[in-house]
Structure 1
Amino acid sequence: MQFQHHAMGVCLACIILTSSVAFSASIPRNALPPTTDLDLITILDNGANNPMEGNEWLSDIASSIVSNLTGIRTQDESVQSTREKIENLFAYGHLNIPEAASMVASSGLVSSEILSFLNGFLNQSLNSIHNENQASSNIDIYPLKSEADAPYSVREDDLRAAIHIPNSFSYGKNGKKPLILVPGTAIPAGTTYHFNFAKFGNAVPTADVVWVNIPGSSFSDAQVNAEYVAYAIHYISSISNANVAMLSWSQGGLNVQWALKYWPSTRSVVDDFIAMSPDFHGTIARALVCPLLETVICTPSIWQQGWDTNFMQTIREDGGDSAYVPTTTIYSTFDEIVQPMIGDNASAIIRDIRGVGVTNNHLQSICPGKPAGGVYTHEGTLYNPLAWALAIDAFTHDGPGQPDRVNMEAACEQFLAPQLELDDILGTHGLLLVAVAGLLVYMPKTTAEPKIAAYALD
């Protein structure tokens, strides 16, 4: 059966490519069915009623989320009242993903319409890792584009099938340039960007938006996740005969940076790298650092994103903490997942020792006391008006996004990007519910950080 956007298969694979469902009626590893009756509520409910040993804490949170989602109604709030609710929820302290999701559910910050969309995320073609992207004899990018590149460990067919190309994609025609969206931890790319940057073409008509559905919802080894990014850069650039721009969220920033570092041939075809809430230096938030974090939540990539892990030390060394292409970072003090996100030691900051052009944009410093400089969470940057203005500026100019080219009065005085609506705020925060579902089903959890790839040790 062929789905819209050239996607085949089932989105369950987006979360558990090499996993089994952690419930009594489990699906054998690597034996995923072509269709599934599982949905967001079912996963959360099963997690609440069938806790595995040691995850009673996560089970209790899942139970609370399900209880709070029962009977929700159509959202009739305004952007202003939603802003006030978000400020009350996230202005104090830092949380882990399940606790943040529980707060979102208990606050009524998800409407019935949004929940209906999120509930079916497993079966949405926009999240498929089985897309029918044709191989081309004219594309010489695998197994190596350049002798300087790291080797791939993933089959080319799988790398290519993870790229979602919408029907609207123009393949470089009409002066358009591809924008490749790279997801963060725990949420498939299609769902991640549905309420925000998948709509970037409405703001910039010359942008051709595509995205990479990294298997395992980016829970697996970040070094392997980066292979999908490196391949996507070359594949999309080649079929479009054009350079590309990259836009990432969260761990996606690390995946792009790792790809640029260890697949240096990618740098010549990437014009811009726009990183939303990146953790280039990991996080020191105790609630998100393994092994301090409950072992039931420790997945390979979550483990790797602690500030002092082997992975973080490896990506930072030899100038890896500095940009390889023009880079725009956008981050918020109130990030509930990555910390610190303020001052000279903010995790999102990237250096510019190569002189390629970098701007590090702290929302609260640029728009102090203004709506756009208010309480924006890890996911909230995805609908922030200044973030959108800077992304637009970066995409439409040479070099990184520059605040002095942006209409700061207009950007700072708004709470929501003008290209978006109230439902986009609600849906973006609803992503946390999908993240909890991903944590419940991803198997196996890990008790140690993955080994550094041999190519990064040379």
Structure 2
Amino acid sequence: MIVSFTIIILLFLLVCVKCTNTNYSKLNQPGPSLTISERDLSNALKCSWPSSNSHYSKNRPVLLVSGMSENPYDLFGWNWMTFFDEQQWPYCTIRFPNEGLIDLQLCTEYVVYSIRKMYKYNQKNLINIIAHSSGGILVRFGLRFWPDIRQMIDDLISHGPSNHGTYIANIACFLPIGCAPAVHQQRVGSNFLDALNSHQETFDSISYTTIMTKTDEIIRPVSSSELHNNYQNDNKSIINIYLQNICPYNLYSEHLAIGTYDYCAYQLTLDALQHQGPTNLERIQNCCEQTLMPVVTSTWKFLINLLYLMKNNAVTLFVYKPRINYEPQLKCSFTNTCS
């Protein structure tokens, strides 16, 4: 009797999981109109394009997408932006309202607009994206529900993304003081993440490189950052990389490190940017011999920048208001409930 009851429960759960995908819009359904004014969307996008057109064919423009509570200039200004400036490599950044702590559905509109704008400005040639933390799921949410941008991106390189949520968010939002909308949406099991990962997680026109660290203090479990290939059998367009699988003694590179200064993460990212397809580990050499990426040359300046970034992130996160005790409702345009 107990065995039969258990089998019934398991079958019920399997049916529920299988039916979950039917709650969300179809994969190729045209994306909804953007609700944020074009003026606000345009003002949030800042670009640096070299004057020489010779670099356009050599290096694809890169969109740098920061995560929750992160100012893009504090996060990328002393590392990737400096590197791209030195290389005359075109790039853009997005400054989200309230540093991305608002409803992530709204933040995604900024990403969708930016991708379209960069693609058009680059004479309809593909662009690449480097995303840190929740920036990775913003890009993926755009790819999931605005299918037109899938043909505009070559590589998505994510550093410590919250692809399947983090229990740290579950704990934070369990407290009676509430938490920011974006934190609710990154809880394991949130409606936002269910919608994000519905039907399939990746698309065959894009190469995905996900770089993670086992000492990540924000994304728990760390494996929730991994992306799963569910559109083809060869897995050639997706790679999930743990820094410690390459450098076993690298215990100091935490959540911020892999997006800002870690030398091995820099090499892995650059490999994906400079070659067709995701990062190829066979091309990576001497990854563990240095600590800081090349443009981060001064140890004391590096420490000052890192501490300043950590302080600003913490202040932004803890002073954000209003704190709420519920997840923002998923817009019907992302479900199958819209008429």
TM-score normalised over the length of structure 1 = 0.62
> Are positions 1:456 and 2:334 aligned together?
yes
Q: Match of 1:351?
A: 228
2:240 corresponds in structure 1 to 360
Counterparts of 1:378-393 in structure 2 under 5 Å? Answer: 378-381=255-258, 382-393=260-271
Structural mapping, 1:120-269, within 5 Å = 148-166=30-48, 168-170=49-51, 174-175=55-56, 176-201=59-84, 205=87, 207-241=89-123, 242-269=125-152
Give the aligned partner of residue 47 of structure 1.
Answer: none
The alignment status of 1:283 with 2:159, answered yes or no, reads: no
Q: In structure 2, what residue type is equivalent to 1:400?
A: P
- The Cα shift of 1:310 comes to 1.1
Please name the residue that 2:15 is paired with.
none
- Mind listing any 5+ residue stretches in structure 1 that lack a counterpart? 1-145
SS in 1 for 2:198: helix
Contact 1:196–1:424, Cα closer than 8 Å, also in 2: no
In structure 2, do the counterparts of structure 1 residues 328 and 456 end up closer, same or farther at CA, with 3 Å as the change threshold?
A: same
Q: SS in structure 1 opposite 2:292?
A: coil
Q: What is the aligned-residue RMSD (CA, Å)?
A: 2.2
CA contact (8 A) 1:243 1:270 kept: yes
**Given that residues 154 and 205 in structure 2 are in contact (C-alpha distance below 8 angstroms), is that contact kept between their aligned partners in structure 1?**
no
Q: 1:328 — aligned with what?
A: 209
Looking at structure 2, the residues matched to 424 and 326 of structure 1 have their Cα atoms a distance apart, in angstroms, of 31
CA contact (8 A) 1:181 1:210 kept: yes
CA distance in 1 between counterparts of 2:181 and 2:51 reads 36
By how many angstroms is 1:147 displaced? 7.2
**SS where residue 319 of structure 1 aligns?**
coil
**Residues 450/334 of structure 1: CA separation in 2 closer, same or farther (3 Å cut):** same
- Equivalent residue number for residue 291 of structure 2: 415
Determine the C-alpha separation between the residues in 2 that align with 1:376 and 1:424: 14
Unpaired segments ≥5 residues, structure 2? 1-27
SS of corresponding position for 1:181: strand
Instruction: Provide the residue aligned with 1:310 in structure 2.
Output: 191
For residues 292 and 183 of structure 1, do their structure 2 counterparts lie closer, same or farther at Cα, with a shift above 3 Å needed? Answer: same
Contact persistence 1:196–1:428 (CA under 8 A): no
Amino acid of the structure 1 residue aligned with 2:287:
A
- Cα deviation for residue 285 of structure 1 reads 2.7
Q: CA-to-partner distance for each residue in 1:93-145, whole Å, 9 max, x for gaps?
A: xxxxxxxxxxxxxxxxxxxxxxxxxxxxxxxxxxxxxxxxxxxxxxxxxxxxx
- Structure 1 residue 265: Cα displacement: 0.9
- Code of the residue aligned with 2:126 in structure 1: it is N
Q: Distance in 1 between matches of 2:294 and 2:251?
A: 16
Q: Which amino acid letter does the alignment assign opposite residue 386 of structure 1?
A: C
For 2:72, give the aligned amino acid. A
Residue in structure 1 matching 2:252, options 362, 370, 375: 375
**How many angstroms apart in 2 are the aligned matches of 1:361 and 1:325?**
17
Aligned pair in 2 of structure 1 residues 171, 224: CA closer, same or farther (>3 Å)?
farther
Give the superposition deviation at 1:428. 2.7
Tell me, in whole angstroms, the C-alpha distance in 2 between the residues paired with 1:177 and 1:294. 46
Letter in 2 for 1:402: N
Tell me the number of residue pairs that the alignment of Structure 1 and Structure 2 aligns: 300
- Paired position in structure 2 for 1:405: 283
CA 1:429–1:253 in 2, change beyond 3 Å: closer, same or farther? farther
Distance 1:224 1:269 in 2: 20
1:440 shift after superposition: 4.2
In the TM superposition, residue 437 of structure 1 has moved relative to its aligned partner by 2.2
Report if the CA contact (8 A) 1:169-1:208 is conserved. yes
Q: Could you report, residue by residue, the CA deviation over 1:245-292 in whole angstroms, capped at 9, with x for unpaired residues?
A: 000100100101001111111111101101011110110136x64432
Q: Check whether the contact 1:335–1:378 (CA below 8 A) recurs between aligned residues.
A: yes
Write out per-residue CA displacement over residues 284-309 of structure 1, whole angstroms, 9 at most, x where no aligned residue.
Answer: 136x644324525x000011101111
Q: Deviations over 1:180-203 (max 9, x none)?
A: 000111122122111222123267
User: CA deviation digits over 1:164-189, x for unaligned, max 9?
Assistant: 123x5449653342100001111221
Match of 1:271 among 137, 154, 161: 154
Find the aligned partners of 2:35 and 2:166 in 1 and give their Cα distance: 27
SS of 2:239 mapped into structure 1: strand
**Alignment CA distance shift 1:327-1:210 (3 Å):** same
Which residue identity lines up with residue 320 of structure 1 in the other structure?
E
Normalised TM-score (structure 2): 0.82
- 1:275 match: secondary structure: strand
Q: Secondary structure of the equivalent of 2:34? A: coil
What residue in structure 1 maps to residue 7 of structure 2? none
